[in-house]
Chain A
Amino acid sequence: MGATRPRGREWTMADHDDVQHEVLNMRQFEDATGGDVELMQELAGLYLADADAQMPGLEEAVVQRDMERVSRVAHGLKGSSASIGADRVANVFKIIEAMGRDGTEDGLDDAVAAARDAYVVVRERLTRMAA
Chain B
Amino acid sequence: MKILIADDDPVSRRLLEDSLADLDHDVTVVCDGREAWSHLMEQRYDVVVSDWMMPEIDGVELCRRLRARTGDPFCYVMLITSRDTTDDVVEGITAGANDFMTKPWKREEFRARLCAAERVVQLERTLASRVAELQKALEEVATLKEILPICMYCKNIRDDEQAWQKIDDYIQKEGLASFTHAICPDCYEGQVQPMLKEMHDRNRKAS
Q: Which residues of A contact B (CB under 8 A)?
A: 28, 31-34, 36, 39, 42-43, 46-47, 49-50, 72, 75-76, 78-80, 82-85, 94
Bound: A28/B14 CA distance, A: 16
Quick check: is B12 within 8 A (CB to CB) of the other chain? yes
Asked if A32 and B53 make an inter-chain contact with CB atoms under 8 angstroms apart, the answer reads no
Q: Is the CB of A50 within 8 A of B18?
A: no
CA gap between A46 and B18 in the complex, in Å: 14
Identify which of residues 175-195 in chain B touch chain A, using a CB-to-CB cut-off of 8 Å.
none
Main secondary structure of the interface of A (DSSP, over half): helix
Q: How far is the CB of A69 from chain B (nearest CB, A)?
A: 12
Given contacts A49-B10, A79-B103, A82-B104, 13 further A-B contacts (CB under 8 A): A28-B104, A32-B104, A32-B105, A34-B107, A34-B108, A43-B14, A43-B15, A46-B10, A79-B53, A79-B82, A83-B12, A83-B15, A94-B82
| Interface contact B104-A83, CB-CB below 8 Å | yes
B9 in contact with A32 (CB, 8 Å): no
- CB pair A76–B9 under 8 Å, yes or no, is yes
The residues of B that contact A31 with a CB separation of less than 8 Å are: 106-108
Residue of A nearest to B55 (CB): A72
Q: Assess whether B82 is in contact with A75, with CB atoms less than 8 Å apart.
A: yes
User: A40 vs B10: C-alpha distance in the bound complex, in angstroms?
Assistant: 13
Does B11 sit at the interface, judged by CB under 8 A?
Answer: yes
Give the CA-CA distance A80 to B18 in the complex, in Å: 15
A108 to B119, CA, bound (A): 47
The answer to whether A80 and B14 touch across the interface, beta carbons within 8 angstroms, is no
How far is A37 from B103 in the complex, measured between Cα atoms in Å? 21
CB distance from B64 to the nearest CB of A (A): 20
Given known pairs A75-B82, A76-B8, the reply for A82 and B14 (CB within 8 Å) is: no
Whether the Cβ atoms of A79 and B9 lie closer than 8 Å is yes
Bound complex: CA A34 to CA B82 (Å)? 20
Q: List 27 A-B contacts (CB under 8 A).
A: A28-B104, A28-B106, A31-B108, A32-B15, A32-B104, A33-B15, A33-B107, A34-B108, A43-B11, A43-B15, A47-B11, A49-B10, A72-B53, A75-B82, A76-B8, A76-B53, A79-B9, A79-B82, A80-B9, A80-B10, A82-B104, A83-B11, A83-B12, A83-B103, A83-B104, A83-B105, A85-B104
